Structure 1
Amino acid sequence: MSRPFACRLRYLTPSLAFTAPRTFFTAPASSTTFLPSHRVTVAASRLSALSHQFSSSSPTMAPTPKEYDYLVIGIGSGGIASARRAAKYGAKVVAIESNRMGGTCVNVGCVPKKVTWNAAALREGFEDAKAYGFGGYDTPTFDWPLFKKKRDAYVKRLNGIYENNLNKDKIDHIKGRAKFVGKDEVEVALEGGGTQRFKAKHILIATGGRPTIPDIPGKELCIDSDGFFDLETQPKSVATSGAGYIGVEMSGMLHALGTETHFFIRGQKLLRSFDPMIQDTVTKEYERQGVKLHKGSQITKVEDIGNGLKRVTYQETESKKQSTVEVEVVLFAVGRSPEIEDLHIKDFGIKLNDKSHIVTDEYQNTNLSNIYAIGDVCDRGFELTPVAIAAGRRLSDRLFGGKPHAHLDYSNIPSVVFAHPEIGSIGLTEPEAREKYGDKIKIYKTEFTAMYYAMMDPEDKGPTAYKIICVGPEEKVVGLHILGTASSEILQGFGVAVKMGATKQDFDNCVAIHPVSAEELVTMT
């Protein structure tokens, strides 16, 4: 969902030194009226204070903060969605960003990732084309610098669209780093120098997260998932680490584009939080494709050995045996940390969980009454761009749209992994369903070869695997897990059905489209 958007707020303090006019009041000589002594003392005290406040030798006054209805820290997908929705309701909104507009998704996440995945899929298509009788694709070339230039230009255009949308909705947007100086006030260190302060009735933290690299010798020689998009040339060899969806995606893309890929995972399977069928199938498929998968291993040291190479030392978890491999690039995709340090929110007692995510309730409220959090920075557990967008919009519906009960329902949120092949998942995994419902669940599953592979030799055919998890006599669908070609597009439609509470009978009542892989989901017995 939004990253590098932690904005430390310090504010522009224009000098406001004034010289008080020297006015003296003298009672007429004939006057016999005098102020009571205590009133004279108070008056003198006030004049003295006023004189000190406005004397030319007094310290610079603190600036008056600009006041708004809504202050959004982080102009990522979630932040801008919430800001724009609030503005459409008539709220006076200011948004603060320290990096490029669009956050993780636009700049170093979903968007450039999917563009790169498209390139990798095309490369795989060249290989597959031979089975259909096409020639001339035995040694396809790939111009990484040209590709990167065009990808960067596409992202830059999206940055401009974000800015135009803010302007169109009359949202003030500030470039700088933010920090809290009060529960309703922030200070921004402006990009061009100086500081400026802002106050708001409601403040949203949508600063996202940032990737982390383990504290090992040679960590400075490694890159993280952000650094992947900075690579100017395609590495001939790479060592990747991280069995989650980012590690799986980047390892798969690099391998498909022709990079020798050593993939290190601490366990025995990829995507450990997914359904076991998905774990087993994708792990086996990556090995079949030729990814050098180092199971039960982790990188412990990286050394620069010259000639553009790095020596990677890794250790097997159980045997403690150490080995080495030499590669051009070492990439870690082992997790992300919430971007909160510069905000100074701990100074005001905001509650965090053990991983430093901001604790929120179902309405995105923090423990401070006027401060809210959405996206990767909060503790809701779904680090997905559409989740941040949906949560941000519903929050503004509640705060400014007269919808007091508006909030995001975090159940049955679909997600996709752009692996090779694609993976889609919604609802409970089989172990989760068994733990929750016991013997009340019923499993439908199938594994088959998609028609796409009909013309290929057996060793070149990829898998397709589907699983439907149902519960109760009505067989309500509580989990759907799919792996295979076009799974991302397939899941979006079926996700609607699951969200609406579809049953297995509802699936069966839908007439199949033939011949497509997805027909198996409505014909499974």
Structure 2
Amino acid sequence: MADFDYDLFVIGGGSGGVRAARVAAGETGARVALAEEDRYGGTCVIRGCVPKKLMVFASEYAHMPETARAYGWDIADGALDWDTFHGHLVKELDRLEGVYRNLLKGSGVETFDQRARIADPHTVELADGTRKTAKHILIATGGRPVRPDMPGAECGIVSDDIFHLPKLPESVLIVGGGYIACEFACILHGLGVKVTQYYRGAQILRGFDEEARGLIAEAMRERGIDLHTGTNIVEARPASEAEEGDMTAPVEAAQYGRPHAVTPDGPVWVKATNGNTRVFDTVLFATGRRPNTDDLFLEDLGVKLGRNGQIVVDDYSQTDVPSIYAIGDVTDRVNLTPVAIREGMAFVETVFKGNPTKVDHALIPSAVFTQPELGTIGLTEEQAREQEPCDVYCTSFRPMQTAFAGRPDRVLMKLVVSKETDKILGCHIVAPNAGEMIQLAGIAVKMGATKVDFDRTVAVHPTMSEEIVTMRKPMRTA
């Protein structure tokens, strides 16, 4: 190893890259370096999971006064002070970035705050022209949101931009129907923004359980989100460039020329596929993400890329070039932070501890932080039906807390069970704090629990989650 500057060079300072770097250095004594061109912590800590969840928490207080009054509390409605919240948010992200930097420093990892690319299978070239050699190179550059290919797409923002808004817009159009689009629709609505959402598909949250998707869509509309499915936009332009004859839908005159507009050219005029045109303070494109592999010159080295630009790796995260590995969103396998961390740990076990380790990508619990939340693990009812005969146990009801307050909120508890083995093939929960519930249910499902195992578990009463162990008769057979 003395022939190289380092035993390992990591490109990317997100959760997966940082974990791999500090464990390799701290637990095996490897000489490790890491390069990051932006902020340490990556998508999750700086512009994804963490700030988004803090915004979820902030948005959930919107309904608190009304609910509290139903319980006898004399609490008046209030309004969000964006400057106060955003100031606290920035401080927290700065603190977390400092934690990541200190973890690397404490483990003996040398860091370079600049962009890096791969010059050859054992050489990394930094933005300042410096070259460093390493026996192994690990790519953990993550992914980024992309704008659609359409006229005027530059007039809108993407999810990364949400956390940098100087002020909240009064109105926003969210384009997209995936989990990011739906989460921000609920967040911004809760923060007091008038939210319209367009999605070209028949139903939001494609790929999730159909019944759960429907309940969430219904809840979003009940809360006041103007959700349109089967609708997309074909053109956008600054509202100042739109002529009076372009308007086919009512537009408030005050929407023009607002000094606090958050997009570079002010409010945005959009035209939808149904021919309608409207003006919004802001347009948010949540129409997909792409792995960060541009300008790494990987294909020139023999590293194979997939159709979406992702790095193709084997079960041990190794590319077609033996010295180059990749983990996390840049591989577009399962794009979740805990998965990237697992992949980073497995990489260290395989390469530096001599213990070849695969990451198990099956039965991974996940959550969508809409309002209400969706927690899910395993097969949807639709997927299970195509695989084998199964029984579907489900219940939907108004939870005690909000029913008492006269709110229409409903929750869903659902188990998809194999008729042959009685194993739980899928568990889907739509409810407040469903993410917390699915983590615990996920342990049982991952262990191969059967419906009988759930049945013989005593319920915790009175809770929403008790319904997951009290459903005795299937609602239908799939």
TM-score higher than 0.5 = yes
CA distance in 2, matches of 1:179, 1:303: 36
Per the alignment, residue 140 of structure 2 pairs with 206
Of the candidates 443, 448, 452, which is equivalent to residue 496 of structure 1? 443
Q: CA offsets per residue over residues 72-96 of structure 1, 9 Å max, x none?
A: 1101001011112211122111111
Offset of residue 133 of structure 1: 2.0
Offset of residue 353 of structure 1: 1.2
| 2:235–2:272 CA contact under 8 A, matched in 1 | no
CA distance in 2, matches of 1:403, 1:126: 55
Q: CA RMSD in A?
A: 1.5
Of the candidates 174, 177, 186, which is equivalent to residue 243 of structure 1? 177
Per the alignment, residue 269 of structure 2 pairs with 312
Structure ranking higher on relative contact order (CA contacts 8 Å, 6+ apart): 1
Of the candidates 460, 464, 467, which is equivalent to residue 520 of structure 1? 467
Of the candidates 124, 127, 133, which is equivalent to residue 186 of structure 1? 124
Q: CA offsets per residue over residues 137-171 of structure 1, 9 Å max, x none?
A: 23x12100111111011000000000100011001
Of the candidates 322, 325, 338, which is equivalent to residue 275 of structure 2? 322
Counterpart check, 1:383 vs 2:317: no
CA distance in 2, matches of 1:503, 1:523: 14
| 1:212–1:337 CA contact under 8 A, matched in 2 | yes
CA distance in 1, matches of 2:161, 2:342: 28
Per the alignment, residue 212 of structure 2 pairs with 278
Per the alignment, residue 430 of structure 2 pairs with 483
- What aligned pairs does 1:136-175 form with structure 2 within 5 A after superposition? 136-138=75-77, 140-175=78-113
SS at match of 1:325: strand
Identity score, percent = 41
Give structure 2 stretches of 5+ with no counterpart. Answer: 241-255, 259-265, 473-478
Per the alignment, residue 152 of structure 2 pairs with 218
Per the alignment, residue 101 of structure 1 pairs with 40
Give structure 1 stretches of 5+ with no counterpart. Answer: 1-63
Q: Which has the larger Rg?
A: 1
Of the candidates 435, 453, 456, which is equivalent to residue 386 of structure 2? 435
Per the alignment, residue 373 of structure 1 pairs with 326
| 1:297–1:314 CA contact under 8 A, matched in 2 | no
SS at match of 1:279: helix
CA distance in 1, matches of 2:224, 2:202: 16
Offset of residue 473 of structure 1: 3.3
Per the alignment, residue 78 of structure 1 pairs with 16
SS at match of 1:161: helix
Counterpart check, 1:91 vs 2:30: yes
Offset of residue 367 of structure 1: 1.3
Task: Give 1:313's aligned amino acid.
Answer: V
Aligned residues: 447
CA distance in 2, matches of 1:263, 1:141: 23
CA distance in 1, matches of 2:456, 2:34: 48
Per the alignment, residue 349 of structure 2 pairs with 397
Per the normalisation by structure 1, the TM-score is 0.83
Counterpart check, 1:471 vs 2:418: yes
Moved more, 447-456 or 486-495: 447-456
Per the normalisation by structure 2, the TM-score is 0.91
Per the alignment, residue 227 of structure 1 pairs with 161
Task: Give 2:362's aligned amino acid.
Answer: S
Offset of residue 474 of structure 1: 3.2
Q: CA offsets per residue over residues 407-450 of structure 1, 9 Å max, x none?
A: 2100000110110111111111111112122x2x1111111111
Offset of residue 371 of structure 1: 1.1
Q: CA offsets per residue over residues 338-387 of structure 1, 9 Å max, x none?
A: 1111211121121111111111122111111111111111031x111111
CA distance in 2, matches of 1:202, 1:496: 34
Per the alignment, residue 53 of structure 2 pairs with 114
SS at match of 2:409: coil
SS at match of 1:322: coil
SS at match of 1:287: helix
SS at match of 1:342: coil
Counterpart check, 1:197 vs 2:154: no
CA distance in 2, matches of 1:201, 1:409: 26
CA distance in 2, matches of 1:81, 1:349: 26
| 2:28–2:353 CA contact under 8 A, matched in 1 | yes
CA distance in 2, matches of 1:126, 1:395: 49
| 1:299–1:312 CA contact under 8 A, matched in 2 | no
List structure 1 runs of 4+ shifted beyond 6 angstroms. none
Offset of residue 311 of structure 1: 4.0
CA distance in 2, matches of 1:127, 1:344: 56
SS at match of 2:455: helix
Task: Give 2:183's aligned amino acid.
Answer: E
Per the alignment, residue 129 of structure 1 pairs with 68
- What aligned pairs does 1:340-351 form with structure 2 within 5 A after superposition? 340-351=293-304
CA distance in 2, matches of 1:278, 1:456: 24
Say if 1:472 and 1:399 are closer, same or farther in 2 by CA, change over 3 A.
farther
Offset of residue 124 of structure 1: 2.2
